[in-house]
Structure 1
Amino acid sequence: MKKKFVSVLLALTMSTTLSAGLTSTVFAEEAVSTASECSYDGGSGTQEDPYQISSTDSFLTFAANVNDGSNAGYADTYFLLTNDLDLTGIDWEPIGNMNDMENHSTLFLGSFDGGDHTISNLKYESDKYNCGAGLFGVNCGEVKNLTVENAEVTVTDGTSLAIGGVVGYNMGSVDHVTLKGNSVITGNNCTGGIVGGNNNSVTNCSAENVTVIVIGDNEFEENHIVQADVAECGGLVIGGGFGGTIDNCSASGTVKAEGNEPVGLGGIGGCLEMMDSITNCTADVTIESANGGHAIGGLCGYAGTHSNPDVCLETEGFSTKNYPSVIDNCKITVSIKADGATHVGGLIGTGLYYYGEETVFKVTNCSVTGSIDGAVTPGTVAGRAVGSVIESCDADILIDGVHADNQIGTTSCMYESADQ
């Protein structure tokens, strides 16, 4: 399931630097920003005097200036939204993209401060390849202090990845961002309410009454997922997280799989394996899969880290710090309806078998309430947890209408990623 993310990460030769308080991703071929101050409604683009965006016209100028590649992604450049914006009727193109992995100049590398304002009625539909789609396509800088309302993002191309309501693919930071209203995010691989694919930090974010729809069909053969990157990784905050952290995030809404045998569905995140920590999160979520599935949980479908981070660094282009991954102080209310699905848990679906071993996690100070219907031998906390530790988790779960006490599902079957 990481196959496409691997190619994305390895395509980027990057280093992280601190400049004027902004963590930015700097590329070897980076050019000097040529933005004109007259393009915006004030400011000079510094941290002390950010460019001001007060109208839809100047916001569209900002997006175009990132996407034409002439401003080197606005590295070390600061923007401040000073008014609410309505994008009704606008033919949107996500800010920053990596559709051409040889061209790094179209990534967003700056700082966008929403100023606690709201951008409403974003609509983006595509049947073409997208590597990162949303309000922002690819963020390698920071997006913060922003509310997005009534977003509709739909990508039907089966080879696309990282579809989010606010950020498609996050390699920087997303902080104090809210997605609310009747927002519906639809995609095939790594589809998230706020962030589609994540490889850094997501903090203090909230998805309110959001619907995430995972499309496409998967196939299993002899305990092996036959396809990679199909019908997988859907969550209300993050679709797929492959490195980094999630802290103090909340979610409410529905995660729905429309095809056959989806993998990795969760309330906060769908696939959160290789995430160092998931802490202080809450969710009230309904998860629906009408045609089987694998790795489904109220917090996340997949979780855990690998014992040898060098394996991940060599094969995936990123590494982890914590082993096992930390899952602490998360409180989940969930209704899971998944006929015939395996590795289903109230909190976590399972670890991922990857490069010869399962990823593992440690659960502390968590609670989960709700129901699981139709799944095969689920657990109140985890569907499978080989090598993992569940130290303290209060679970009050009805399984097919009956109160259950088994924290871990009773299954010896292990599914292997198609990426290997």
Structure 2
Amino acid sequence: MTKLRVFIVLLAALVLVPAFTAYSQEAVLTISDVGEFMEFRDSVNNGKSFAGEEVLLDADIDLSGETWIPIGTGETPFAGKFNGGNHTISGLNMTDENAQSLTLAGATGKGAGLFLHVSGDGAQIANLTVSGSINCAAPGSMSAVGGIAAYLGHEAVIYRCLSNVDVILGGAGGERESYAYAGGVAGYSEGHVIYCVNEGTVTASPERIYTMAGGIVGEQHDGSILFTDNSGEITIPDIGGYMRGYAGGIAGSIFNGSMSSVRNQAAVTSYNLAGGITAYAMNSVLRDAVNVAAVSGTWSGSDITVGGIVAQLHNGSSAVNCYNTGEVTAGGSSSYAYAGGIIGWSSAGFSSSNKIYNCTNIGNVSGSASASARVGGIVGDLDKTELHSSVNSGAVSANSPYVPGGIAGYKSADANIHDVAYSGDASPIGYGSRNMTDVELLSEAEIKSFVVTSFPSLDPAIVRLREGDTKTVNVKLHTHPGSVSDEGVYYSLSESYVEPDHASASASDDTISLTGTSPGVSLLAAYVDTYRSGGDGTVDTSASSRSLVTALVWVAAAESEEPSLPENPEIPDEDIDIPAGPGDSSSGDGIPPLWPDVPLPQVPEEPDTDKDWNERYPSGSGGGGCSAGWCALTLLAVVPLALRRRK
């Protein structure tokens, strides 16, 4: 670990005493040294998938000096459960010669990572830290590189892992339909990445038509990314030619998937498309996303699209409860530039539309181009999208003769804006339709007094109890841009459940009562309804937004001694709270549990893509211009299972 971590909830440590280690599946293989680890690798690569079995790492492993061939093949993925036991695998070093044949998404090429291919119902890598470097320039029509896995298949999980692997991906590719995926944790994911942290840099400069680079994954296709954090810089440099580079702090791109409770803390740069969280989202849900770092595009070619959260939001996607503080810049000397504090460009097809709401931007946004610069405090270019209950207090600027907008650089007639506030000297819309409802120009100080974006979480996020005992879990709420003295009036618990049922749960307005029923490890999931600030600055409960919060529950046998929990550390006041990652892998003297084999809770408010635009917004709806009233901001949302703060 290279940086100090302080936690509100110690999901990171997962200090389990022996009484709780019995609830981890009994391992069929225990690995204690490099030789045993390489024998395990060879066993998988020779055809043993370990499906339904657990492999336990019992010691730190140093791969320095070893020529590493990844675990799993294109034909035989690792399909078992690899429990890293809070240990570290260091010294990972891979180059072109180590990359192995891999087929994914219908394309064949090369892949590299500690694991090549992890797939299968119940397949999992958990409780592991990996450090080292991967520098590959594999030729072909496809390449995938990830610090932990090159390819994470359907239903597979990477849980509570930290990657400190510096990833560099280059190489020549085909002239048409060639792809490259580079991620700090996984190159290409169809599964679920949960409670993971990336600290390594990711740089991708292959000669491919499409290049995707992200701090957690290069591309997420289906599946989900939950409670993750990136602090490694993401870069796709301009290597010339007409190619598309998608750089995101969490994912380069996401299709038909969801991201919730994620944060990016490091600069994201692409010559083409760059987003603080992702560069491209199609038919996907992004909730409770935070970006605190600079996002920039630098191309001298045809176009640059940059966004504090998403560069391009497309076809039935939603960005909900998102918060950006990073500077957003569409620089270079391109013909067209699209830059927004939350979204660079939001567009949709004939029968779909997008949603943007409960979002806050305080980062400065700028853009320059020779033919057209569309720069907005919230969205650069807005088309077939409903934007509401959001605010911008960041400065906006565009090169002459182009005019920025405090809300949107350009708004089409098919976009709907209502209940939005902004500050500064710019007009709300730079170009296009000015048909809006309840849009208000306020001072920066006035905006800071409103609650717009809210992040609830459970405290504690690790609950330990014996059979028959009862404990209480509380909801904590963090609000932006304004803070509140009585957070309890801004939310209520609507429902909760535990799966599998090693405990029972009952919810009141602000607490969950848990009672242990049988020994085991369970997932506690709850939905929190959060409320908004009204026009007078007080809470408005007439509308709400539903958020998902989770915790893990360990239940010991009634006759066992319940272990004492470590005290939570003192946490200094900070502006932003987000999920915890795995933390210090050396902590704990027991075997940490795996992620339970249960269906993941549904991220609330998925976009309804089955309605066409006319059904969603019948003719005549909307207002006839900006009204003077500051209509209630609908805000809120969800956040972490465990909150992590970084000094």
TM-score normalized with structure 2 length: 0.47
Name the structure 2 match of 1:178. Answer: 162
Match of 2:499 in 1: none
2:181 aligned with 1:190: yes
Q: Which amino acid aligns with 1:80?
A: L
What residue is the counterpart of 2:277 in the other structure? 299
Question: Cα offset for 1:398?
Answer: 1.8
- Among 53, 59, 73, which residue is 2:37 paired with? 59
Q: What's the secondary structure of 2:39's corresponding residue?
A: helix
Offset of residue 331 of structure 1: 0.9
Offset at residue 217 of structure 1 (A): 3.6
SS of equivalent to 2:361 = strand
Q: Counterpart in 2 of 1:374?
A: 330
Pick one of 36, 41, 62 that aligns with 1:86. Answer: 62
* Distance in structure 2 (CA, Å) of the matches to 1:152 and 1:178: 15
> Please, what is the CA RMSD of the aligned residues?
2.3
Instruction: After TM superposition, list the pairs within 5 Å mapping 1:19-418 onto structure 2.
Output: 47-69=25-47, 71=48, 73-98=49-74, 104=75, 106-126=76-96, 130-131=101-102, 132-140=111-119, 141-171=123-153, 172-180=156-164, 183-187=166-170, 189-208=180-199, 210-217=200-207, 230-258=209-237, 259-260=239-240, 261-275=243-257, 277-289=258-270, 292-293=271-272, 295-305=273-283, 325-340=284-299, 341-351=303-313, 358-375=314-331, 376-386=337-347, 387-400=353-366, 405-410=376-381
The gaps in structure 1 that reach 5 residues or longer are: 1-45, 99-103, 219-229, 306-324, 352-357, 414-420
Preserved CA contact (<8 Å) 2:87 2:127: yes
Contact 1:214-1:231 within 8 A present in 2 as well: no
Q: Deviations over 1:306-356 (max 9, x none)?
A: xxxxxxxxxxxxxxxxxxx321111111212322342321100113xxxxx
Aligned equivalents of 1:176 and 1:55: distance in 2? Answer: 22
2:96–2:137 CA contact under 8 A, matched in 1: yes
Task: State the secondary structure of the residue aligned to 1:91.
Answer: coil
Flag the 1:174–1:153 CA change in 2: closer, same or farther, 3 A.
farther
Q: Give the distance between the partners of 1:300 and 1:89, measured in 2 at CA.
A: 35
Q: CA deviation at 1:270?
A: 0.2
Structure with bigger helix share is 1
State whether residues 360 and 388 of structure 1, in contact with CA within 8 Å, keep that contact through their aligned partners in structure 2.
yes
Aligned equivalents of 1:88 and 1:406: distance in 2?
Answer: 48
How many aligned residue pairs are there?
A: 317
Aligned-partner Cα distance in 1 for 2:54–2:194: 20
Q: Distance in 1 between matches of 2:267 and 2:246?
A: 14
> Aligned-pair distance for 1:126?
1.3
**Structure 1 residue identity aligned to 2:317:** F
Q: Would the aligned equivalents of 1:248 and 1:279 in 2 still touch at CA under 8 Å?
A: yes
**How far apart, CA to CA, are the structure 1 residues paired with 2:36 and 2:100?**
27
Change in CA separation of 1:155 and 1:96 when aligned onto 2, cut-off 3 Å? farther
Amino acid at match of 2:92: L
Structure 1 segments of 4+ aligned residues over 6 angstroms from their partners: none
Q: Which moved more, 1:147-156 or 1:88-97?
A: 147-156
Query: What secondary structure sits across from 2:198 in the alignment?
Result: strand
Paired letter, 2:79: L
Which protein is bigger by CA-based radius of gyration? 2
Instruction: State how far apart, in whole Å, the 2-side matches of 1:160 and 1:410 are.
Output: 32
| AA at the equivalent of 1:64 | D
Structure 2 SS opposite 1:216: coil
Cα displacement (A) at 1:201: 0.6
Shift of 1:187: 4.7
Q: How far apart are 1:150 and its partner, in Å?
A: 2.5
Mapped to 2, the partners of 1:371 and 1:158 lie a distance apart of 36
* 1:135-194 residue CA offsets vs partner (Å, 9 max, x unmatched): 0000012111100123334243243322101011001111001012x6234256111001
Separation in 1, partners of 2:50, 2:117: 13
Residue pair 2:94, 2:135 contacting (<8 A) in 1 also: yes
How far off is 1:411 after superposition? 7.5
SS in 1 for 2:346: coil
Quote the offset at 1:401 in angstroms.
8.8
Q: 1:50 to 1:92 in 2, by over 3 A?
A: same
Distance 1:57 1:206 in 2: 28
2:338 aligns to what SS in structure 1?
Answer: coil
Q: Structure 1: how far apart are the matches of 2:362 and 2:101? A: 40
Contact 1:202 1:246 in 2 (8 A): yes
The Cα of 1:384 is off from its aligned counterpart by 1.3
Q: Which residue pairs with 1:42 in the alignment?
A: none
Unaligned runs of 5+ in 2: 1-23, 103-110, 172-179, 332-336, 348-352, 369-374, 384-409, 411-647
Return closer, same or farther for 1:193/1:52 CA change in 2, 3 Å cut-off.
same
**1:235 deviation in Å?**
0.3
Matched-pair contact (CA < 8 Å) for 1:368–1:381? yes
CA contact (8 A) 1:185 1:192 kept: no
Q: CA deviation at 1:114?
A: 0.2
- Partner amino acid for 1:363? A
Structure 1 residues 233 and 401: CA distance shift in structure 2, 3 A: closer
Say if 1:328 and 1:366, in contact at 8 Å, map to a contact too: yes
Task: Determine helix, strand or coil for the equivalent of 1:89.
Answer: coil
Q: Separation in 1 of the partners of 2:329 and 2:42? A: 47
Distance in 2 between residues matched to 1:243 and 1:333, nearest whole Å: 26
Where does residue 321 of structure 1 map in the other structure? none
Task: Determine helix, strand or coil for the equivalent of 2:339.
Answer: coil
Aligned partner of 1:136: which letter?
Answer: F
Higher relative contact order (CA 8 A, sep 6+): 2
Output the amino acid matched with 2:29: Y
The whole-number CA distance in structure 2 between the counterparts of 1:49 and 1:241 is 30
Deviations 1:52-83 (A, max 9, x none): 000000000000111122x2x12112100000
